[in-house]
Amino acid sequence: MFEDSKPDFVTADHGDELLYVIGAPFLSDMELLSGDMTDEEEALSKNVMKYWANFARNGDPNGPGLAKWPKYDEDEYYLQINLEQKASKKLKHGRFEFWTKTLPEKIQQLSAGDHTEL
């Protein structure tokens, strides 16, 4: 929908989901914002609205006909929301290795050694 309006390296911006949440493809006065949505994007909007409505209704986004949205816990499961939804685990986990493993190891090495000069 917004492919031509942002740089190639930007895949999703803050707030991009809102048109799907409010059902913009189905509102005639939102045509300017929603543009020419595909059938797949309309189906995505319906699913996102169902997840949000279920969560608002009973605190659980899951419901009939929807991919299961797992609870986020120490195992870091989450739901990838796209034209097709699927549960996944540990989003971008490898990118955090520097902060969670490499840096603490380097700090430990530095604090264990006796440095008399720089």
pLDDT in tens, 8-45: 787 777 777 787 888 877 776 655 555 677 888 889 89
Q: What is the model's pLDDT at position 53? A: 96
With a CB cutoff of 8 Å and minimum separation 6, the contacts of 113 are: none
DSSP-H helix ranges across 1-118: 18-21, 31-34, 39-58, 97, 103-112
The model's confidence at residue 114, banded by pLDDT at 50, 70 and 90, is: low
Q: What is the model's pLDDT at position 52? A: 94
Q: What distance in Å separates the CA atoms of residue 68 and residue 63, rounded to the nearest whole number?
A: 8
Following CA atoms 49, 52, 56, 61 in sequence, which dihedral angle do they give, to the nearest 10 degrees?
Answer: 120
Model pLDDT for residues 37-96, shown as the tens digit of each residue: 788 888 989 999 999 999 999 999 999 999 999 998 888 899 998 888 899 998 777 778
Q: What is the model's pLDDT at position 116? A: 58
Q: What is the model's pLDDT at position 87? A: 92
Helix (H) or strand (E) holding 86: strand 86-89
Q: What is the model's pLDDT at position 118? A: 61
